[in-house]
Amino acid sequence: MNIVNKLTIRHLKQNKKRTLVTILGTIISAAMIMAVATIGVSYTDLLKKQAIENNGNWHVCYKDITTDQIDSLLQDEQTASLSLIEDRGYAELDDLMSSYKPYIWVRGMNDEAFTQFDVQLLEGRLPEAENELIVSSSLEDEEVTWSIGDEVTLATGKRFTEEEWAEPQDGLLTSENSLERNEEGDLNETLIDINETSYTIVGFFEQPNWEWGWTPGYMVLSHIDESDEHYPVDSFVYVDKPDRSIYDHADELSDMLGITNVQYNSELLRHSGITASDSIDRTMNGMLGVIIVVIIAGSVALIFNAFAISVSERSRYLGMLSSVGATKRQKRNSVFFEGAIIGVISVPIGIVAGIVGIGITFLAINPMLDSIGLDQQLSLTVTPFSILITILLSALTIFISTWFPALRASRITAMDAIRQTHDIKLKTKSIRTSKFVRRLFGIEAELGLKNLKRNKKRYHVTVLSLIVSIVLFLSVSFFTDSLKQSYQIAESGDAVSYDLEIYSDDADSVSELRESMEDSAEVTDVLTQREMNVSLYLDESEVAPELLESGGYDRMDDGQYRYYAKITSIDKDSLDEYVDSAQIPDNWDDESMSAIVLDTITYEDFEQSKYVRTKSIITNINDSLNIVETNWDTEETKELPTLTVTALTDKTPMGSYNAYLGSVNIFVSNETFEAILNESDLEAEDNLMYVKSDDPMATEQTLSELSNRSINNLYDQRTQGEQMIAVISVFTYGFVTLITLISLANILNTISTGVALRKREFAMLRSVGLTNKSFKKMMMFESAFYGVKALLYGLPLSILVMYMIYRQTQYAFSYSFTIPWLHILGVIIGVFVIVGLAMLYSLTKTKNETIIEGLIQENQ
């Protein structure tokens, strides 16, 4: 080891406080990078596990294939394993009491399917022959007393209905069809092609997530062998290393084999980083690219500040090396050597700290995930790749951070070090201040501003630290909000905000049923609504621009455009709650024929492969809506009472869906609805009730006993969407909290170190008569100058970065760019509070020092 490196190590030991501060900053940076990598890997792993539990561990499904096609799939190069599931049909059982699950649903699976679909045995063993069965635990609520070893005979058949809508499929109902009932609520389906088969019960298994709650039968599983002749089956292909070519390959293979129905496990593929849409890939990669650059820039700034302050503090030491013959290269390498020592110590500690910190965070988060019903939990997942990435990025940031300080160190001469000319500029122009500063704020403010101008490098380093912190916080906040908003837009068409849906053509029966359910202990919310479908005639200026561009409009002979409108009346209590939640004025219906217009919609533009959020109709408060009723059989129209727009909103009440492009949803009071209905010639009223419940299955049973109306149980669909939003929210707030802590550490480190290096300056000011009160006032103004300067540069730069992130989202989504003013207000307040607290904290370390101690202060 050469003498310069030995002196560098000695200097690090002698200046323990400064060395510890630098090590701490580097540890924080490495921990941040490791934490982000670990969060990303662990979060992706969670989503994969949840997708597998929901749908099974497969990638491509080929429906209704034959034995010959099975052989071809097994020989395909992409097939790692092939699961087969055969739908043997439904069987009626006298012991079944449920009116919404009146069947036993028999399915056959091969050995791979039992593994890939993670069938969890509670008792017994898996079936090994086609005449053996295992029974789902969902059957426990029924009066079926099957035991292991029992022989049962099931007459299985296909579900058939005579409803016209099922004619294209020969009247056959699949497992995806809920129970078919007529208008009176009676069962409107039968079983055909019935075959009797004897089975032996060999076990019981835990009800899986892919046994949907709304399916009309309790699942039992048997065994099939792909080498045997059997009915057409569904095959589920698992691919070892899937990539985007999986879609093209599956299309080509299905065409070659004559398979007409191909489906993909989109959820699992999406969480594996594979989507069928280039636009979504481009959006996610672009957003991640922008945010990674911001995080690395923040890390560089954090470590750069530490080394810049270190070089400033070591200027005399470097000048001493120059005086004894040290070359520029030796002085430059001394800074690189210091960075290497700091890195060797800090990066391993940072990696461990990041992993431990995220592990503790997961321990705190998992109970929250469990409380919202998420079956899987975040498990700490650390890969060699994430550790390697952390080491490389940390090394890169340390190198970049030390480069400019090293160049500066190489240029320091002995005379410069003695005169401190690198840090302090005494030219008159450079420290000149405006007369208004003293007049408005006093001599203390002028002194503070002059101090900043004299110590420009430290001043710039501190302001840069604040700017980076501002950009980090706002960019990451906007990034995570964009993720959440993009998911909500993508899922809004399928979003379900209730558990149970009941339809009836009789408004009175629905109202009576609602009153009965209000006293139910497990019911948390009930909403009833009446709907009618009408038309609106609009001028071109009122039509959504996207509809005009697409050419999908319906233009009348008189030049007006026909819109399809759904007018909805909600029960009084639910309407009041909706008005409050949507922040609609209470007096919106003070006049007759008032209407709330849902003027914002989200739809998927298939031609552009993107999701669009836009205005459904261009209208304003107090505009009139001309409603027209059309008899589609005779094409005759009739004008109905005119509505007045008294409120506009983008919020939907429970049970309502987004309209599609070219349509609009309108909400009115019950009195207005009746007035329109009384003028109508057609019976176009639909009556629905939506229910939220703590126990949807029990509530469904109660409803079926009170009414014979059709009940649609969508609990699984609703909870899946809510769970995903909750997980994204946890990820969002955790990530923002992490960045906030990093920013705080950055600011405190920079300001406290800068103040510590100015002890001599403070002692000099006190020696010429500056009182403690004036001294505090001077420092307060310095803090204000720091904050104002950082905000002047940080906020525009943050908005630019946020817009760059927004632009990346527009490859797959279309919505307007909005500046997060609440976040910006929080940042403005936070900057001044943090800077002020950092100054006060730093000054507490100098207030007890005497003037003499300050003047003779040496680095420690």
Q: In this predicted structure, what is the pLDDT of residue 860? A: 41
Instruction: Scan for tokens 């049970």, then name that residue.
Output: 655
Q: Say yes or no to pLDDT of 826 above 70.
A: yes
* Dihedral in degrees, nearest 10, Cα atoms 265, 266, 268, 271: 170
- Flag whether pLDDT at 561 surpasses 70: yes
Query: What are the tens digits of pLDDT across the range 726-752?
Result: 666 665 566 666 666 666 666 666 666
Task: Give the helix/strand (H/E) hosting 647.
Answer: strand 643-649
Q: Which residue has the higher pLDDT, 205 or 486?
A: 205
Burial level of 579, CB count in 10 A (0-12/13-18/19+)?
A: buried
Q: What is the dihedral of CA 88, 90, 94, 95, to 10 degrees?
A: 80
Region of residue 393 (left: phi > 0; alpha: psi -120 to 50; beta: else): alpha
Q: Retrieve residue 162's tokens.
A: 């005579």
Residue 434 has pLDDT above 70, yes or no: no
Higher pLDDT, 812 or 261: 261
CB 138 within 8 A of CB 208: no
Q: Which amino acid is at 826?
A: G
User: First vs last Cα of the chain: how many Å apart?
Assistant: 25
Cβ(238)–Cβ(57) below 8 Å: yes
**Token pair recorded at residue 478:** 């906007």
Q: Helix, strand, or coil here: 158?
A: strand
Predicted pLDDT of residue 814: 65
CA dihedral for 810, 813, 817, 820, sign (positive or negative) = negative
Which one of 98-102, 251-255, 408-412, 766-770 scores highest in mean pLDDT?
251-255
Task: State which amino acid sits at residue 293.
Answer: V
- Which of 122, 114, 126 has the alpha carbon at shortest distance from 207? 122
Gap between the Cα atoms of 798 and 478, Å rounded: 10
Token pair in block for residue 832: 């001044």
Please name the residues in contact with 360: beta carbons below 8 A apart, sequence gap of 6 or more: none
**Does residue 283 surpass a pLDDT of 70?**
no
> Does the structure show a pLDDT above 90 at 151?
yes
**Selected residue with higher pLDDT from 716 and 219:** 219
- Output the DSSP codes for 580-617: HHTT--GGGGSSTTEEEEE-EEEEEETTTTEEEEEESB
pLDDT at 514 over 50: yes
CA distances from 29 to 231, 358, 746 (A): 60, 14, 10
**What are the backbone angles phi and psi of residue 402, rounded to the nearest 5°?**
-90, -10
Number of Cβ within 10 Å of residue 145's Cβ equals 7
Q: Tell me what pLDDT residue 156 has.
A: 92
Binning pLDDT at 50, 70 and 90, where does residue 683 land?
Answer: low
Q: In this predicted structure, which of 358-362, 581-585, 718-722 has the lowest mean pLDDT?
A: 718-722
Amino acid at 227: S
- Please count the other Cβ atoms lying within 10 Å of the Cβ belonging to residue 555: 12
- Rounded Cα gap, residues 815 and 809, in angstroms: 9
What pLDDT does residue 859 have?
44
Domain definitions of the chain by residue range:
1-56+284-422, 60-264, 424-496+717-860, 497-713
Residue of higher predicted confidence among 758 and 258 = 258
Q: Are 749 and 505 in contact (CB under 8 A)?
A: no
* Pairing, β 121-124 against β 172-173: unpaired
| Sign, CA torsion 528/612/280/77 | positive
Residues 306-334 have a mean pLDDT of 70
Is the model's pLDDT at 456 over the cut of 70?
no
Question: For 361-377, what is each residue's pLDDT tens digit?
Answer: 788 777 766 655 556 67
pLDDT of residue 295: 67
pLDDT at position 700 over 70: yes
Residue 521 has pLDDT above 80, yes or no: no
Q: How confident is the model at residue 754 (pLDDT cuts 50, 70, 90)?
A: low
β-pairing verdict for 561-570 and 711-713: unpaired
Q: CA angle at residue 206 from 202 to 209, to 5 degrees? A: 135
Q: How far apart are the C-alpha atoms of 396 and 425, rounded to whole Å? A: 32
pLDDT of 130 > 50? The answer is yes
Q: What is the pLDDT of residue 235?
A: 92
pLDDT digits (tens, 9 = 90+) for 161-220: 888 777 777 888 887 787 887 766 677 889 998 989 999 999 999 988 888 766 788 899
For residues 591-618, give the mean pLDDT. 78
Higher-confidence residue of 692 and 25: namely 692
Three-state DSSP at 333 gives helix
Instruction: Return the pLDDT at 741.
Output: 66
Residue type, 796: P
Mean pLDDT throughout 679-704?
Answer: 77
Q: Is 90 exceeded by the pLDDT of residue 500?
A: no
- The span from the CA of 82 to the CA of 478, in Å, is 43
Q: Spell out the alpha helix ranges (H) of 379-455.
A: 384-411, 414-419, 435-441, 443-454
Q: Which DSSP string do the residues of 799-814 spell out, in sequence order? A: HHHHHHHHHHHTTTEE
Average pLDDT over residues 528-551: 83
Average pLDDT over the chain, rounded to whole? 78
